[in-house]
Amino acid sequence: MMTAHALAVCLMMASQTYQVPPAVMVGIMHVEGGHVGQQVGPNVNGTYDLGPMQVNTRWLPELAMAWNVNYKTALKLVRDDGCVNVRVAAWILRQKIETAGSLYGGIAYYHSATPGVGTRYAAKVINVMKRKGLIKQDYAKAESKAYYAQR
């Protein structure tokens, strides 16, 4: 069993590796509400969500190829190894930030690229970060306004 301290260390290392704010990773983890070994689903599209960061199984073929393992092994690694899970989540978040062109948009896209769905999710993540004292109110408002100004 992985301790909370060990998972926090993994989260910090993943955040540094992929240059994503650890506060955002913590916010996503709390909104997702997952845990090591968890597999939730099926989702509407037949996929499942895995581990603490609820990484979607749609990423597994790409991960399996990159890691030179089969799908089943990639699934077990993402679902059952908390360090792997948060590292993959940070990698996904980095891609989504680059796609969206903003941190707020990246948080939204981490969950869904569907307009409205992703932005509601990003608002939840930001609210968690505010409640935990990880960001100030002014920063959250500025990020949200900047995102909507792009649209």
Considering the entire predicted model, what is its pTM? 0.90
pLDDT digits (tens, 9 = 90+) for 94-141: 999 999 999 999 999 999 989 899 999 999 999 999 999 999 876 555
Name the percent of the chain lying above pLDDT 90.
86
* Domains: count for the chain: 1
C-alpha–C-alpha distance, residues 151 and 149, integer Å: 6
Q: What is the CATH number of the domain that holds 21?
A: 1.10.530.10
Domain, as residue range, for 21: 4-150
Residue 22, SS3 per DSSP? helix
Any residues with CB less than 8 A from the CB of 88 and at least 6 apart, and which?
53, 55, 59, 63, 78
Residue 34: CB partners within 8 Å, gap ≥ 6? 40, 49, 50, 51, 52, 53, 54
